[in-house]
Amino acid sequence: MTPSGAAAPSDGHPPSVPVSVTEIRRRPGSRMPVERTLVARGLGLTDVVVPDGSEIAFAGELESIHEGVVLTGSAEVPWAGECRRCLKELHGTSAIEIREVYETKPTEGETWPLDHDTVDLGPLLHDIALLALPLAPLCTDDCLGPAPDAFPAVVAVDPVAVEEPAGEPAKDPRWAALDDLDL
């Protein structure tokens, strides 16, 4: 077992969060509760980050199926950023639902690997955390910025807000944000 809180390897891969599923693999249909945390390191988008050292907490269960296991539950992702209009510092926690399959023969981009009766929640929680981050947080829904009359000037310093009004919402902004990362 890797001790929790182990430092992330320097190559940028998320730390391992291994869970042994030997017990439930003996009988398809059996389940086990799972609670694990991933300690964040260098996780974030341009304007919003998961602060280094904070914990992404997963709670849910694993269920054994014939070719693997199904993980269901939810993760809580702490984040920090700035209001996109008034630049006030913001902190919050986003919850995200998870339902993912781990298989002995995983399908690239669809399911996760199950090796030696062990699943690794680290890479999953890492990716999920990015999806859970708010793209353009506001301190309040109707924040007008520090000086409402000067609002256009405030928008100009924020790349996310600048891109929004131009039309072409073709791409899911969550995935567009991921494109900017070197994963």
| Token reading at 72 | 């269901």
Cβ-based nearer residue to Zn ion, 90 or 96: 90
Which residue type is seen at 150? A
Q: Does 154 bind Zn ion (CB under 5 A)?
A: no
As a whole number of angstroms, the distance between CA 15 and CA 4 comes to 9
As measured in angstroms, the least distance from the Cβ of 138 to Zn ion is: 6
As measured in angstroms, the least distance from the Cβ of 139 to Zn ion is: 3
- Give the binding-site size for Zn ion (rule: CB under 5 A): 6
Single out the residue of 115, 133, 132, 113 nearest to residue 123, CA to CA: 113
Q: What track of x and - describes contact with Zn ion for positions 91 through 120 (by CB under 5 A)?
A: ------------------------------
Judged by CB under 5 A, the stretch of 53-61, 106-114, 139-147, 148-156 that binds Zn ion is 139-147
Q: Does 86 bind Zn ion (CB under 5 A)?
A: yes
Give, in order, the Cα–Cα distances in Å from 22 to each of 3, 60, 115.
20, 17, 11
Q: Does 139 bind Zn ion (CB under 5 A)?
A: yes
As a whole number of angstroms, the distance between CA 97 and CA 90 comes to 23
Binding residues vs Zn ion (CB under 5 A): 83, 85-86, 88, 139, 143
